[in-house]
């Protein structure tokens, strides 16, 4: 009996029934599907994106971005100041992510216990869940030498006495290709696509792709009775004429940050303190490019293998904003669209493509009164938009990060350094770069800001006045709804979020399973 | 009225014109003429004349991958660039696009890029991002950058 459907091919309305319906198949949805089906519950997974597998992954940006990313990898914040990368595919963002796997930092958990009443969230209590997920997804420190792009960060930082470390990755038999962002063609990446989702399917779960969950429908007792969905066309842009209705005992929003709050907002679930969509975080990311004397080929090799947490912990969490340093993979579309120049200037920059390296700084937002994050709103067609205002506090950190990255790149022997700001030129000396960075007007659409880590918007917490779900991910006001994804984080993580989601969702899915069986 | 307010009201007027509906809907042919003028300046030194068709097709594909509401924003932007009054007021391009010089178009892009108004900067950013996506996703753009293309598996 087939249990995998592509709703874009539906020729009539469909109704499904299950014990648990899960919206979204990313880090949260995939993990929940496996665990709940292991407990004998009948699970249905609903995914807006397509069901693509290794054979479809041709390592081409022109195919991967429109098919596997939200809004063709060009999703923007409301004022267009931040370019947001989020997956939209079976496997969610894990199908296209870069495989870095970090546990939730202990200091972040300390802050959650103190400020959000999440008293169970101790390092020790979560460690078994992280350990178990690390085993499940084969997380291990990358054993091959870093590629030349990561090596710039390692060498430059070492020359300045800044500690770096090696990134743990969720891969098995990785070919070191460097195309994780376009979908792993070798099935080496242990994404939800090849781990938890097939495991759930093998236990009788149902998967429907190309279906957009529109709204939960409440019954007279204030519980969700059904979920109304739209079948999407083959491109995932327009709904077709057909509807999909899902009935279940329990419903899980795992549509990711932006996606899950949007679903709750469209459903008009009780939200007496107007918390849904608030405190959405981005790890706003600024970028510094450098042309090296040697070939870098930053498109090749494990994309992220070296990182530095040095600038996260030199000040207290609620002091000046801290940032994590990593490197991004560079491919022609991602690079050219991100470069802040046009015409001959850009063509010249692209002519140095093979010698170009880059460092990114991910700012840890959400730990300071001047960093309350953004707010998800609905547009007239019901689709979400994130309003993320920048504050002087965040810009100060962005400037400090551009300065730190330029120092590291020159220390690694960069010929020129190019901070990604519209006013920047390629600088040949550290002094010139630093003087320029100190004078940059720090504003949206002048400073290039990106995000691949959207978090929050359905914050968990003990106090319903300040949060949407409790520490188990259960909705404060609707008994048979849980949120199991990155949207439950009450602050940003201060590390790449996937393993935080795996571990916390594993915990909460086990608790839910015990309650349901 | 200072220059900024003047541009601001022109943007608002343009948006109203576009919002007024049917009379000014998306016009693929004239939009192609605009893009055929902007593309070679945006991608100067990279986009060869005989790749124009590929660039324009790439642009269409890139726009088609955006959500309906962002596609609508792009249509509005194209309308502002197409209608002579807004082309003149906002872009500062005097001649029709197919007659505008390289320098005139480069000056327009530069003005928007560094504009004091975030809306104009974002319009520049949209043109830049779509143009680069349209061209650098194409194998023909790669040799000049040295990018060898994806590795062959077996
Ligand atoms: C390019 C890139 C690189 C990254 N690299 C790393 C990394 O190296 N390490 C790391 O830890 N993190 C990384 N991340 C981030 C990480 O992958 C995400 O934080 C994580 O996957 C989020 O999990 P989630 O379950 O919250 O949402 P997602 O994994 O994004 O899944 C949400 C899913 O819900 C679907 N959906 C949304 N709305 C609806 C709806 N209405 N109906 C049906 N389906 C819907 C979406 O299509 C999507 O598939 C990266 C992300 C990107 C985009
Ligand atoms: S680097 Fe490894 S995990 Fe990433 S795409 Fe290549 S083989 Fe897959």
Q: Which of B35, B42, B45 to mutate to test the interface with A (most CBs of A within 10 A)?
A: B45
Query: Is the Cβ pair B153, A71 closer than 8 Å?
Result: no
Same domain, residue pair A259 and A336: no
CATH assignment of the domain containing A56: 3.50.50.60
Same domain, residue pair A198 and A246: yes
CA of A502 to the centre of ligand 1 (A): 12
How far is it, in rounded angstroms, from Cα A84 to Cα A76?
6
Chain B positions touching A179 (Cβ under 8 A) are: 150
pLDDT of B29: 77
Asked if residue A114 belongs to a domain, the reply is no
Same domain, residue pair A323 and A204: no
Nearest CA in chain B to A76: B70
Same domain, residue pair A308 and A397: yes
pLDDT of B19: 39
* Nearest atom, ligand 2, residue A171 CA: 3
Query: Is the Cβ pair A332, B137 closer than 8 Å?
Result: yes
Same domain, residue pair A501 and A396: no
The fraction of chain B above a pLDDT of 70, given in percent, is 81
Nearest CA in chain A to B63: A72
Same domain, residue pair A243 and A210: yes
pLDDT of B16: 38
Same domain, residue pair A252 and A337: no
Nearest CA in chain B to A352: B145
Residue B8 scores a pLDDT above 80: no
Other C-beta atoms closer than 10 Å to the C-beta of A288 total 29
| Per-domain residue ranges of chain B | 26-140
In Å, how far is B79's CA from the nearest CA of chain A? 20
Chain B positions touching A237 (Cβ under 8 A) are: 64-68
Pocket test for ligand 2, best of A68, A146, A179, A327 (most atoms within 8 A of CB): A179
Question: Which of A71, A413, A11, A41 is closest to A241 using CA atoms?
Answer: A11
* Nearest atom, ligand 1, residue A90 CA: 49
Question: Which of A15, A478, A45, A474 is closest to A228 using CA atoms?
Answer: A15
Angle at A501 between CA A496 and CA A505, to 5 degrees: 170
**Which ligand is nearest to the Cα of residue A142, counting in written order?**
2
Other C-beta atoms closer than 10 Å to the C-beta of A428 total 14
Query: Is the Cβ pair A300, B146 closer than 8 Å?
Result: no
pLDDT of B12: 45
Q: Which of A415, A443, A471 is the last residue of a domain?
A: A443
Ligand 1 pocket member A305 (CB < 6 A):
no
Measure the N-to-C terminal CA separation of chain A; round to a whole number of Å.
25
Residue B26 scores a pLDDT above 70: no
Q: Which of A443, A467, A483 is the last residue of a domain?
A: A443
pLDDT of B30: 82
Domain count, chain A: 2
Chain B positions touching A389 (Cβ under 8 A) are: none
Angle at A29 between CA A27 and CA A34, to 5 degrees: 100
Same domain, residue pair A63 and A130: yes
Nearest CA in chain B to A67: B65
Same domain, residue pair A430 and A313: yes
Contact B81, B5 (CB under 8 A): no
Ligand 1 pocket member A183 (CB < 6 A):
no
Chain A positions touching B70 (Cβ under 8 A) are: 71, 74, 76
Same domain, residue pair A422 and A305: yes
Predicted ipTM of the assembly? 0.95
Ligand 2 pocket member A313 (CB < 6 A):
no
Angle at A47 between CA A45 and CA A48, to 5 degrees: 160
pLDDT of A1: 54
Q: Which of A426, A443, A460 is the last residue of a domain?
A: A443
Asked if residue A379 belongs to a domain, the reply is no
Chain B positions touching A333 (Cβ under 8 A) are: 132-133, 136-137
**Which ligand is nearest to the Cα of residue A28, counting in written order?**
1
Torsion, CA A57, CA A58, CA A63, CA A68, rounded to 10: 20
Angle between helices B28-42 and B118-136 (to 10 degrees): 90
Residue B135 scores a pLDDT above 60: yes
Nearest CA in chain A to B64: A237
Q: Which helix (H) or strand (E) holds A333?
A: helix A332-338
Give the residue numbers spanning the domain of A504: 4-69+86-99+123-136+180-272+495-516
Question: Which of A49, A36, A51, A48 is closest to A3 using CA atoms?
Answer: A51
* Average pLDDT score over residue span B60-75: 94
Pocket test for ligand 1, best of A206, A227, A259, A484 (most atoms within 8 A of CB): A259
Same domain, residue pair A299 and A230: no
Look-up: residue for tokens 């004022």? Answer: A79
* Nearest atom, ligand 1, residue A499 CA: 11
In Å, how far is A75's CA from the nearest CA of chain B? 8
Residue B143 scores a pLDDT above 60: yes
How far is it, in rounded angstroms, from Cα B30 to Cα B42?
18
Residue B6 scores a pLDDT above 90: no
**Which ligand is nearest to the Cα of residue A144, counting in written order?**
2
Query: Is the Cβ pair A80, B46 closer than 8 Å?
Result: no
Mean pLDDT for back-to-back runs of 10 residues, chain A (517 residues): 90 98 98 98 98 98 97 97 98 98 98 98 98 98 98 98 98 97 98 98 98 98 98 96 98 98 98 98 98 98 98 95 98 96 97 98 98 98 98 98 98 98 98 98 98 98 98 98 98 98 98 97
Question: Closest Cα to atom 30, ligand 1: which residue?
Answer: A93
CATH assignment of the domain containing A350: 3.30.410
pLDDT of B153: 85
In Å, how far is A263's CA from the nearest CA of chain B? 17
Chain B positions touching A82 (Cβ under 8 A) are: none
DSSP B27-50: -HHHHHHHHHHHHHHHTTTTS-GG
In Å, how far is B102's CA from the nearest CA of chain A? 10
Contact residues of B toward A, CB < 8 A: 41-46, 58, 61-62, 64-70, 106, 109, 113-114, 118, 121-122, 125-126, 128-129, 131-133, 135-138, 141-142, 144-147, 150-151, 153
Nearest CA in chain A to B66: A71
How far is it, in rounded angstroms, from Cα B68 to Cα B82?
21
Same domain, residue pair A207 and A163: no
């Amino acid at each position: 009996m087939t249990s995998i459907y592509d709703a874009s091919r539906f020729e009539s309305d469909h109704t499904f029934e299950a014990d648990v319906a899960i919206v979204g198949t990313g880090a949260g949805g995939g993990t929940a599907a496996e665990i709940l089906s292991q407990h004998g519950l009948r699970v249905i997974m609903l995914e807006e994106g397509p069901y693509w597998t290794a054979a479809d992954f041709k390592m081409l940006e022109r195919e991967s971005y429109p098919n596997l990313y939200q809004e063709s990898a060009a999703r923007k914040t409301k004022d267009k100041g931040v370019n947001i990368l989020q997956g939209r595919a079976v496997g969610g963002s894990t199908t296209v992510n870069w495989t870095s796997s970090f546990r939730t930092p202990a200091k972040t958990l300390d802050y959650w216990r103190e400020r959000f009443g999440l008293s169970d969230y101790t390092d020790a209590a979560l460690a078994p869940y992280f350990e178990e997920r690390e085993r499940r997804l084969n997380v291990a420190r990358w054993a091959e030498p870093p590629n030349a792009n990561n090596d710039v960060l390692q060498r430059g930082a070492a020359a300045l006495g800044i500690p770096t470390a090696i990134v743990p990755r969720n891969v098995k038999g990785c070919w070191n290709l460097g195309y994780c962002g376009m979908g792993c063609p070798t099935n080496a990446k242990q994404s939800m696509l090849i781990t938890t989702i097939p495991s759930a399917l093998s236990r009788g779960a149902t998967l429907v792709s190309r279906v957009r969950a529109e709204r939960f429908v409440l019954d007279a007792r204030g519980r969700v009775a059904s979920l109304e969905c739209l079948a999407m066309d083959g491109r995932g842009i327009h709904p077709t004429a057909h509807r999909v209705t899902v009935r279940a005992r329990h419903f899980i929003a795992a549509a990711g940050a932006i996606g899950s709050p949007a679903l709750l907002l469209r459903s008009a679930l009780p939200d007496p303190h107007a918390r849904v969509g608030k405190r959405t975080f981005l790890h706003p990311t600024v970028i510094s490019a450098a042309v090296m004397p040697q070939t870098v080929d930053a498109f090749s090799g494990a994309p992220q293998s070296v990182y530095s947490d040095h600038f996260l912990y030199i000040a207290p969490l609620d002091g000046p904003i801290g940032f994590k340093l990593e490197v991004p993979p560079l491919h022609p579309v991602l690079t050219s669209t991100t470069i802040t120049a046009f015409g001959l200037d850009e063509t010249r920059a692209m002519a140095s493509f093979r010698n170009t390296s880059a460092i990114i700084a991910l700012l840890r937002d959400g730990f300071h009164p001047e960093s309350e994050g953004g707010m998800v709103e609905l547009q007239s067609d019901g689709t979400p938009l994130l309003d993320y205002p920048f504050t002087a506090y965040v810009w100060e950190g962005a400037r400090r990060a551009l300065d730190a990255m330029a120092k590291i790149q020159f220390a690694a022997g960069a010929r020129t350094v190019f901070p990604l700001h519209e006013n920047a030129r390629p600088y040949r000396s550290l002094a010139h770069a630093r003087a320029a960075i100190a004078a940059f007007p720090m504003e949206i659409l002048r400073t290039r800001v990106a995000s691949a880590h959207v978090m929050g918007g359905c914050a968990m917490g003990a106090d319903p006045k300040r949060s949407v779900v409790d520490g188990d991910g259960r909705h404060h006001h609707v008994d048979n709804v849980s949120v199991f994804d990155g949207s439950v984080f009450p602050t940003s993580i201060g590390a790449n979020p996937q393993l935080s989601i795996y571990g916390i969702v594993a915990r909460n899915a086990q608790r839910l399973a015990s309650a349901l069986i | 009225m200072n220059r900024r307010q003047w541009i601001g009201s022109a943007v608002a007027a343009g948006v109203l014109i576009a919002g007024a509906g049917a009379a000014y809907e998306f016009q693929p042919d004239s939009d192609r003429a605009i893009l055929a003028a902007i593309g070679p300046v945006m991608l100067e030194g990279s986009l060869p004349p005989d790749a124009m068709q590929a660039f324009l097709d790439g642009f269409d594909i890139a726009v088609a991958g955006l959500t309906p509401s962002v596609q609508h924003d792009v249509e509005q932007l194209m309308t502002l660039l197409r209608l002579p009054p807004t082309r003149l007021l906002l872009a500062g391009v005097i001649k029709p696009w197919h007659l505008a010089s390289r320098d005139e178009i480069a000056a327009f892009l530069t003005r928007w890029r560094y504009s004091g108004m975030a809306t104009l900067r974002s319009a520049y950013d949209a043109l830049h991002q779509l143009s680069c996506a349209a061209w650098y996703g194409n194998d023909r753009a790669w040799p000049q950058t040295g990018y060898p293309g994806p590795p062959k598996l077996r």
